[in-house]
């Protein structure tokens, strides 16, 4: 296995971890506001408030690892993406700063006000929507390199593309579906039956839009980048496995069985789809300008970066397990949540 392939796999694992944690984090605040708006905050408010700070910390870790991995492993990609990422990058940074202010507002009691909760929940959905445009840009057609070597980003072409909006739609509904499935699992561990039923309903409700948006992405990708679409057909078994996991998850949630297994099925569903999409996109990081071979760092530096990333990833796994034991499923904490 070549160094570029190993490095893109490592980066893909970091990105997948970020997608899961950010989905749980951002979706939770939307459900918190929605339940408050419907007068049902007592059923899920405490459970969200207890676990959310820990997920926020995990989200930041995976976000930093993903950014560092992209910059250090594939510096040439940053050159091409530079102007294209200026607008979404600045937007995400601004939204993250505003969202971080929420935790300052917690100490002042501002999080209890309806406008504050609404703004915070909308920011949580806006961030993955903005970040999803990076995937759209990677498909090509929005960046043009002149003969003089200058790179121009065609922003209005990105906005006018149907593929852009289907990817944004998929990112938003996926956030809500993943978050609802995890919170249902967490509610079952906390023995909070009212919260469990609430999140079960949310998971079932958002499962349909998730599949619908996925089909829209496939159909618009076929028009926007036929080559990538044909590559995806060559790996269709991964997407079939993703759909099978989705059906298994929905069945278990509908039958109120094995909540942990149901969430694992959700993770596998998005895992198969995520890595299937990534594998079919190879060798391109940005079609057609940057590949994993042309965009990588020099061999010596790349080897040390790869070793450091693998070491950090191996260290991250036991830390995640420890966090799960100490913060998520500690019986004493659960009793405090109920009390």
Give pLDDT tens digits for 59-76.
Answer: 666 666 666 666 666 666
Q: Which residues pair with 152 in a beta bridge?
A: 144
Q: Which residue has the higher pLDDT, 206 or 51?
A: 206
The pLDDT of residue 234 is above 50: yes
Q: How confident is the model at residue 307 (pLDDT cuts 50, 70, 90)?
A: low
- Give the SS3 label for residue 152: strand
Which pair of tokens denotes residue 23?
């989905």
- Phi (first) and psi of residue 192, to 5 degrees: -100, 95
DSSP letter for 285, please.
E
Domain boundaries, the chain: 3-338
151 three-state secondary structure: strand
In terms of average pLDDT, the best of 26-30, 245-249, 299-303 is 245-249
3-state secondary structure of 257: coil
Mean pLDDT of 304-331: 57
Q: Which two tokens stand for residue 92?
A: 């995400």
Query: How much is the average pLDDT of 90-102?
Result: 72
Q: Is 153 helix (H, G, I), strand (E, B) or coil?
A: strand
| pTM (2 d.p.) | 0.83
* Cβ atoms 235, 279 nearer than 8 A: yes
**Model confidence at 224: pLDDT above 50:** yes
130, two tokens: 């903005």
Give 11 or 61, the one with higher predicted confidence.
Answer: 11
**pLDDT for the residue 144:** 81
pLDDT at 339: 45
- Rounded mean pLDDT of the chain? 77
Lowest pLDDT segment from 38-47, 183-192, 287-296: 38-47
pLDDT in tens, 117-157: 777 778 778 888 888 888 898 888 888 877 776 778 888 89
Check whether 331 has a pLDDT greater than 70.
no
| Residue (of 270, 26, 5) closest to 131 by Cα position | 26
The residue ranking higher by pLDDT, 222 or 13, is: 222
């Amino acid at each position: 296995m070549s160094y570029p392939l190993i490095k893109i796999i490592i980066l893909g694992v970091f990105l997948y971890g970020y997608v899961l944690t950010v989905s749980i984090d951002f979706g939770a605040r939307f459900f918190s506001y929605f339940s408050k708006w419907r007068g049902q905050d007592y059923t899920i408010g405490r459970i969200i408030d207890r676990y959310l700070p820990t997920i926020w910390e995990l989200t930041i870790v995976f976000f930093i690892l993903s950014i560092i991995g992209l910059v250090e492993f594939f510096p040439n990609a940053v050159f091409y993406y530079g102007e294209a990422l200026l607008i979404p990058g600045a937007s995400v940074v601004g939204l993250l700063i505003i969202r971080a202010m929420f935790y300052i507002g917690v100490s002042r009691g501002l999080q209890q006000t309806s406008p504050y909760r609404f703004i915070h929940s909308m920011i949580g959905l806006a961030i993955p929507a903005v970040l999803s445009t990076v995937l759209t840009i990677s498909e090509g057609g929005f960046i043009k390199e002149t003969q003089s070597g200058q790179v121009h980003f065609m922003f209005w072409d990105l906005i006018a593309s149907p593929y852009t909006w289907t990817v944004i739609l998929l990112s938003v509904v996926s956030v809500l579906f993943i978050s609802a499935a995890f919170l249902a699992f967490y509610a079952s561990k906390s023995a909070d039956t009212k919260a469990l039923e609430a999140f079960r309903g949310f998971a079932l409700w958002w499962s349909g839009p998730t599949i619908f948006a996925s089909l829209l992405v496939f159909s618009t990708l076929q028009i926007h980048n036929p080559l990538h679409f044909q590559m995806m057909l060559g790996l269709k078994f991964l997407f079939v496995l993703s759909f099978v996991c989705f059906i298994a998850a929905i069945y278990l949630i509908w039958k109120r069985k094995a909540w942990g297994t149901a969430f694992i099925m959700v993770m596998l569903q998005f895992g198969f789809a995520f890595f299937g999409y990534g594998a079919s996109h190879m060798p391109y990081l940005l079609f057609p300008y940057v590949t994993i071979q042309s965009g990588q760092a020099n061999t010596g530096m790349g080897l040390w970066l790869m070793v450091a990333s693998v070491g950090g990833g191996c260290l991250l796994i036991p830390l995640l397990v420890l966090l799960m034991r100490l913060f998520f499923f500690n019986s004493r904490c659960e009793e405090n949540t109920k009390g």
